[in-house]
Amino acid sequence: MLFAHGFGCDQNMWRYVYPAFENDYKIVLFDYVGSGKSDLKAYNAERYGDLNGYAEDVLDIISELGLRDVIFVGHSVSSIVGIIAAIKRPEVFSKVILVGPSPRYINDDGYVGGFEKKDIEELLDTMDKNYIGWANFLGPAIMKNPERPELAAELTESFCSTDPVIARRFAEVTFFSDNRRDLSKLNVPSLIMQCSEDIIAPLEVGNYLHKNIPGSTLKVMNATGHCPHMSAPEETISVIKDYLHGFSAN
């Protein structure tokens, strides 16, 4: 099982989930370049100018470690990174598990992404002008679950510990991406894990993915917020295990 973290996060965010699978699978965790304890000198603006560069990193890890029958578990933007990687080399993947995925964050004709273009432009402008303030605002909004402020604090701290220049570029690549046309090309079995309330990926997005990814399974979770692997790890583990063991979702 290869776990890929979302924007502004690192591999440590999976610590509540991956131990539940250690007895049955080889676990692989990593940090994208620019995140966690990665080597910032390895960052290349041209390579990471779109999500394909991150997908190539995933494939490089798979090749370097000689992995086969990979169960890819991706959070947020990593869900789309995993889809791109699985389209490029479907033979090395057995399943793709998408946690809070979105193929496009900006609303379009007949498509609900959750944001207007000006919302994203304002978000990026705030990152430029006041990165710490942006992190302190967005962390709690993304995490939700206000009764557990330590979760929002951890996410905010993760944002703040990320190189702001790289984070700004990654945010632009993420929030302006449009991978809707890629969905129909995914031939690897997939699970869409949709939180019941998610400011980043609303319910309409999960339904859109389910409709456009052939043979996909959709599970709408009780969990709220955009990080169920942190706020609702038990439910996250249960949903993944049920899917891997062949139980139907929605």
Marked catalytic residue, from 198, 216, 229, 231? 198
Is residue 226 annotated as a catalytic residue, yes or no? yes
Question: Where do the structural domains in the chain lie, given as residue ranges?
Answer: 2-244
Mean pLDDT to the nearest integer, 41-63: 90
Is residue 178 annotated as a catalytic residue, yes or no? no
CATH classification (class only), 2-244: alpha beta
Marked catalytic residue, from 35, 38, 76, 231? 76
With H, G, I as helix, E, B as strand and everything else as coil, classify residue 163.
Answer: coil
Would you state the pLDDT for residue 250? 45
Is residue 38 annotated as a catalytic residue, yes or no? no
Would you state the pLDDT for residue 138? 79
172 versus 137: which is more confidently predicted? 172
60-97 pLDDT per residue, tens: 999 999 999 999 999 999 999 999 999 999 999 999 99
Marked catalytic residue, from 5, 75, 210, 226? 226
For residue 153, give Cα distances in angstroms to 4, 123, 143, 159, 160.
Answer: 21, 19, 9, 10, 10
Q: Report the C-alpha gap between 231 and 57 in whole angstroms.
A: 28
Q: Which of 32-41, 102-111, 137-146, 222-231 has the lowest mean pLDDT?
A: 32-41
103-130 pLDDT per residue, tens: 999 999 999 999 999 999 998 998 888 8
